[in-house]
Structure 1
Amino acid sequence: MRGMTLAVFLDSLFISRSYSRPRCSNDNAFIESWHRTLKYSVGYPKQFSTISTARIWYADFVAWYNSCHLHSGLSYVTPIQVRKGEAQQLYSERNKTIIEAKAAHPERWRKGKTRTYALPAVTAFYRPAEKAVC
C-alpha cells in the first residue's frame, strides 16, 4: 500500500500548513516592529568599532525606546509612563481636549466620531505550562 504525502494528508483533514518555524524571530511581530524602529532610528551606525561601543549604543537605544519613544500600540505614550501610572492622566487630558475641540468646531468631525485614548486590553499570547519543569 502506498502512503500519501503529508501535504495531501493535512489537506484531507482540512488542516492548513504553516511554513513558520517555532521560536523564529522572523515570525514574532513584536520583535520585528522593535527591530525596524531600531534600524530606522537616526543614529543607527553601519558598523560598530568594538563590542563595548555596540553594547553602549544598544543600552542607550533601549533607554530611549522605553522612556522617550511614543508607542502607537500604547495610544502614544511611553512604556515608562504606563508603568508609573501616568498614562491614565494623559489619556483623560487628551480625551477632554478632543471633546472640547469637537464642541468648539463640530464641522471638523464630519462622521461625528472622535478618537478615544485608552490602554489596550491585555491579552496573553502564550500557553501557560501545566507543570513546572525544573
Structure 2
Amino acid sequence: MKAILCVAVQLMLCIGTMAFVDLVGCERGLVELHKAKDFPWLRQMIKRDLKFEMDDADTIAAFTVHDKDLDEIDHVVFAGNQENGKAVTFIYESLEDGERAPLNRIPYSIYYRYLECEVPAHEEDTES
C-alpha cells in the first residue's frame, strides 16, 4: 500500500511541475507537418529528453497553443509513425531567453485535446 501511495505522490509532483495550457478558451496555430530528417536538432532533443529514436521518414506534426489570456504558450508535437504506432507526443515551452525548456511527454489523449483548441478565423481558411 505504501508503494502505491509513493508512486501516486511522485506522479502528482511531476504533473504539478509541468506547465499545461488551460484548455478553456484556448487557441492553437496551424498544424505544420515535416519529415524527421529535416529537423535534426529536434530529433536530438527527443532522443535526449524522451529516450525515443526516430527514422528519417517519420513525421513531425507541430503546432502552438495558448490560453485565452495569452499567458501560457506551449508547442505541442506528435513525432513518429502513426501507421506502425511507434510515436510519441510531447509539449515544450519557449523560455524568455530564446532557449527551449525540456520536452515533456504527454498522453495521446492530451495531444488530441489540444487539437480541439479553436483556430483563429484568420488562420482557419488556410488549414484545409
Q: Same fold (TM over 0.5)?
A: no
- Determine which structure has the larger strand proportion and give its number: 2
TM-score (norm 1): 0.22
Q: Which has the higher helix share?
A: 1
Q: TM-score, with normalisation over the residues of structure 2?
A: 0.22
